[in-house]
Homo-oligomer: A and B are copies of this chain.
């Protein structure tokens, strides 16, 4: 079964927004084992929308549209598809009731035009919208299925995941389940090398890598007749990967960002962490406090950009700063020790380095970063040589610091 995505919206053609919907759907469909051969963007123009629809319907077994389901006269996706399929749009009373409820819950005035959103192509499958007012719809014709989703990603994604995937599973040989595994401390090519045999020899479940800044995400996807069987197939593959990559695997849950994993581990073990930041400038603290509930494991962070403040706020010895410089193993060590002592946290990390674009020397080039960790049982520093932009260097340094907190809290080998 081949798919085509058709994103509808003049704001996309003007470049006001980036088409993240197409990426999301492309990725999900490929994970489900379906092919996407084309994606198209068209504006809120009935003739051009109709023309794009005709081309897409001829090329694909299923067309997924996003956008154009809103209440205004510009929103024409449903009407255009209905017309193309020779269907009338009729009021769906259930959708109408849900729209009224939504507005009254928010104590908002509801313009009559909103009811347009409840007029659905006759005989379609209605996709409820739990996060907005516009329902989605599926229209099936002999040659092509049209799946209409709302444009806002916060409405589109759950509708696709919760309602469209179960529908699509009917057209797949079975059900499909996938799991994401996050890897830190190995580059994409290193992960590829280590998993090459496993990936080449796996057809079900499959394993696919995606590179992110400083990390690799692996997605295992299994196909089976039942959900339980598919889920069960994921387990041994995950175990194989974990055996090969060891503790480089840091996250296997649903929200498996590094900061979420770290906050989860700290909370679970009743530990507190702190950070002393120079080159990362607050990024480590900011990442930790992104996570709701981080106040249980994080009391404070120190952003010590100047030498004076490294001494004042963290008690770094002025002689250390003079002798070795701010970007040195010694300073990193004293920063983490000072942060732990002053905050009373169980684990302290520090980061000091040269993020660029200026400030590099032959001896201490841009990308040189020292990370240190201090706990009851350990006090160590690591030297990083990072590449890329200032943003990249800061991002990678903060991930290394968080990974050290994870390793320390779990009693794993401390390494970068």
> In the complex, which residue of chain B has the Cβ closest to the Cβ of A3?
B13
Interface centre among A282, A306, A313 (most CB of B within 10 A): A282
Check if A15 is an interface residue, CB within 8 A of chain B: yes
CB within 8 A of A303: which of B25, B282, B293? B282
Alpha-carbon separation in the docked complex, A391 to B16 (Å)? 21
Q: Are A357 and B292 in contact (CB under 8 A)?
A: yes
Q: Are A301 and B303 in contact (CB under 8 A)?
A: yes
Least CB distance, A369 to chain B, in whole angstroms: 14
CB within 8 A of A19: which of B19, B298, B299, B313? B19
Check if A165 is an interface residue, CB within 8 A of chain B: no
Check if A356 is an interface residue, CB within 8 A of chain B: yes
Q: Which residues of A from 265 to 307 have beta carbons under 8 Å from B?
A: 277, 280-286, 288-290, 292-295, 298-306
Interface size counted on chain A using CB atoms at 8 A:
67
> In the complex, which residue of chain B has the Cβ closest to the Cβ of A31?
B15
Known: A283-B286, A309-B343. A37 touches B15 (CB 8 A): no
Q: Are A18 and B15 in contact (CB under 8 A)?
A: no
Residues of B within 8 A of A303 (CB): 282, 285, 289, 300-303
Q: Mark A365-398, 1 if CB is under 8 A from B, else 0.
A: 0000000000000000000000000110010000
> In the complex, which residue of chain B has the Cβ closest to the Cβ of A283?
B286
Task: Say how many copies of this protein the assembly contains.
Answer: 2
Alpha-carbon separation in the docked complex, A377 to B378 (Å)? 47
Q: Are A52 and B38 in contact (CB under 8 A)?
A: yes
CB within 8 A of A25: which of B15, B210, B277? B15
Residues of B within 8 A of A12 (CB): 23, 26, 39
> In the complex, which residue of chain B has the Cβ closest to the Cβ of A15?
B27
Residues of B within 8 A of A281 (CB): 285-286, 288-290, 294, 301
Q: Are A358 and B210 in contact (CB under 8 A)?
A: no
CB within 8 A of A282: which of B18, B19, B28, B282? B282
CB within 8 A of A308: which of B277, B288, B299? B299
Q: Mark A305-322, 1 if CB is under 8 A from B, else 0.
A: 110110011000000000
Check if A362 is an interface residue, CB within 8 A of chain B: no
CB within 8 A of A15: which of B26, B283, B299, B309? B26
Residues of B within 8 A of A42 (CB): 37-38
Q: Mark A154-191, 1 if CB is under 8 A from B, else 0.
A: 00000000000000000000000000000000000000
Check if A204 is an interface residue, CB within 8 A of chain B: no
CB within 8 A of A295: which of B15, B28, B292, B306? B306
Alpha-carbon separation in the docked complex, A334 to B20 (Å)? 43
Alpha-carbon separation in the docked complex, A298 to B278 (Å)? 11
Least CB distance, A213 to chain B, in whole angstroms: 13
Q: Which residues of A from 22 to 58 have beta carbons under 8 Å from B?
A: 22-30, 36-43, 45, 48, 52, 55
Check if A108 is an interface residue, CB within 8 A of chain B: no
Least CB distance, A56 to chain B, in whole angstroms: 10
Check if A17 is an interface residue, CB within 8 A of chain B: yes
Q: Are A298 and B305 in contact (CB under 8 A)?
A: yes
CB within 8 A of A14: which of B26, B41, B48? B26
Alpha-carbon separation in the docked complex, A188 to B293 (Å)? 32
Residues of A within 8 A of B (CB): 12-20, 22-30, 36-43, 45, 48, 52, 55, 210, 277, 280-286, 288-290, 292-295, 298-306, 308-309, 312-313, 342-343, 356-358, 390-391, 394
A sample of 20 more A-B contacts (CB under 8 A), given A16-B27, A292-B390, is A12-B23, A13-B30, A14-B27, A15-B24, A15-B25, A15-B27, A16-B210, A18-B22, A19-B22, A22-B41, A37-B42, A281-B288, A282-B284, A282-B286, A283-B286, A299-B308, A300-B306, A300-B312, A300-B313, A301-B305
